[in-house]
């Protein structure tokens, strides 16, 4: 079982998340009542939907993580699941995303700047170490 599948299985048990097809057309996703929160594109690459405010708040922390990739102007953060610690990081960030989207308020789909396009195909992720094991 890949790390992405392990993460998806764990997150699918969360009461605030529901499995669905990814809006980008590639892979599976988990969504809240308001928004798609996380896209699983491969066995290692996951895109997480945050708010602009959450990204600004965590930007310096993201810069120090080799698992995180940011695309300027995107509200999606790519997480490369290279080791079990990256899965734990993803789970923590999903919790941040749920809280951030909930605080944003409004009815589902009323985000003034909808971000339907995740980072899939916009981020190149290089493996850390031999065989991708970190």
pLDDT digits (tens, 9 = 90+) for 40-63: 999 999 999 999 899 999 999 999
pLDDT digits (tens, 9 = 90+) for 71-98: 888 899 999 999 999 999 999 999 999 9
- Rounded to whole angstroms, the Cα distance separating 134 from 130 reads 8
pTM for this structure?
0.82
Torsion from C-alpha of 36, 112, 101, 46, nearest 10 degrees? 40
pLDDT digits (tens, 9 = 90+) for 5-39: 999 999 999 999 999 999 888 999 999 998 899 99
Cα-to-chain-centroid distance, residue 10 = 14
**How many CA atoms, within 13 angstroms, populate the side-chain half-sphere of residue 95?**
6
């Amino acid at each position: 079982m890949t790390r992405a599948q392990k993460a998806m299985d764990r997150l699918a048990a969360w009461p605030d998340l529901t499995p669905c097809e990814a809006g980008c057309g590639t892979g599976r996703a988990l969504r809240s009542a308001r928004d798609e929160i996380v896209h699983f594109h491969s066995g290692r690459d996951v895109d997480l939907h945050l708010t602009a405010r959450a990204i600004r708040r965590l930007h310096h922390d993201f810069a120090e993580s080799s698992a995180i990739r940011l695309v300027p102007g995107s509200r999606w953060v790519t997480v490369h699941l290279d080791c079990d610690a990256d899965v734990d990081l993803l789970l923590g960030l999903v919790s941040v995303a749920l809280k951030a989207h909930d605080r944003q308020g409004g009815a589902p789909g009323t985000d003034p700047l909808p971000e339907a396009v995740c980072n899939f195909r916009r981020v190149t992720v290089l493996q850390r170490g031999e065989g991708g094991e970190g």
